[in-house]
Structure 1
Amino acid sequence: MHTTLAFYKAPGRWQDAAVRLITRSRFSHCELVAIQPQPGGSARAVSASKRDGNCVRAREIEFHRGHWEFVRVGVDMGSSWTKALGEVGLPYDIIGAGLSALPVDIESDRGWFCSELCAYAIGLEKPHTYSPGDLAEHCGLRR
């Protein structure tokens, strides 16, 4: 079974608007999803989240209709989930998230941010260089 990524595009909070502005993208967050839910349904997801405990966490998320875009990538779900779940509990990396918006290749070792964790889980090189918009574009979605 292939891995599914979910990209958040709803207005959200001011932080979402800031991420979109800084990264010039329509996406502000991403999740690794166990199965693509029915429209408006829920699914188990894993990501690094500033909102949910300021760390890498796995939980059930209700994917509100129109708030998310989903993309399937040609990576085995079992291997991507194993990699992501192995990072649960590590801190959210706000410095790394900021660095990903810059045209530099500087990695922070302070934890994970959402798109870095998802890029790592699907086996991309230099996962710390991917903002949510960069990762979405890499996976075939319009930025």
Structure 2
Amino acid sequence: MIQLALYRPHKWWDAGGRLVCWWTKSPYSHCELVVEGECYSSSIRDGGVRAKRIDLRQRHWVVIDLPWADTLRIKLHMAETDGARYGWLDLLTTQLFNSHREDSDKWFCSEWCATALGIPRAELYSPGLLAEYCQERNRHGH
């Protein structure tokens, strides 16, 4: 089962995460795709695209099952992008300035996850918007 894991800032010093939540009007500042217990995403803290094990049982994580997601598509996207740098400029231009700029060599978390799921215009998704999309798709079938 593929899952979308969503991070809620919970520490008082996580000003960046809180800023993302405020700007996007969402409780979530980061997202991961979970495949067979491994988390895939692009992370500011880790410098870009990577896979790692994360304890998602902690209260600051919300996990949504994605029965329609394609494991092979996600793994292929990871193989193509593993080690790519974090997409700061894309994040700023698309999320802050609502401008289209796509740098295929760099990724921010929700852009990476939406692309791996095959969602068009992936650069337009924040973690909260991606959560809404996935919940809506779950409600209306695959």
Match of 1:33, as an amino acid? V
> For the residues of structure 2 that align with 1:127 and 1:56, how far apart are their CA atoms?
15
Distance 1:103 1:136, change over 3 A: farther
Q: How many angstroms apart in 2 are the aligned matches of 1:87 and 1:99?
A: 21
12-21 or 124-133, which moves further after superposition?
12-21
Cα distance in 1 between the residues matched to 2:108 and 2:42: 5
Structure 1 unaligned runs (5+)?
36-42
Task: Provide, for residues 97-133 of structure 1, a one-character-per-residue CA deviation record: whole Å limited to 9, x for no partner.
Answer: 2233247350231500000000000000010010111
SS in 1 for 2:54: strand
- List structure 1 segments (4+ residues) > 6 angstroms apart after TM superposition: none
Greater share of residues in strand: 1
The answer to whether the 8 A contact 2:6-2:28 is kept is yes
Equivalent of 1:123 in 118, 123, 134: 118
Question: Counterparts in 2 of 1:101-140, with a 5 A limit?
Answer: 101-102=95-96, 104-109=98-103, 111-140=106-135
TM-score by length of 1: 0.83
How much does 1:59 deviate?
A: 1.1
Q: Secondary structure at the match of 1:75?
A: coil
In the alignment, is residue 28 of structure 1 matched against residue 22 of structure 2?
no
The one-letter code sitting in structure 1 at the alignment partner of 2:29 is S
**1:14 Cα deviation after fit:** 1.2
Q: Which has the higher helix share?
A: 2
Tell me which moved more, 16-25 or 99-108. Answer: 99-108
Change (3 A) 1:140 1:100: farther
Gap regions ≥5 residues in structure 2? 137-142
- So what's the TM-score if we normalise by structure 2? 0.83
Residues 8 and 29 of structure 2 are in contact (CA less than 8 Å); yes or no, is this contact kept in structure 1? yes
Partner of 2:44: 50
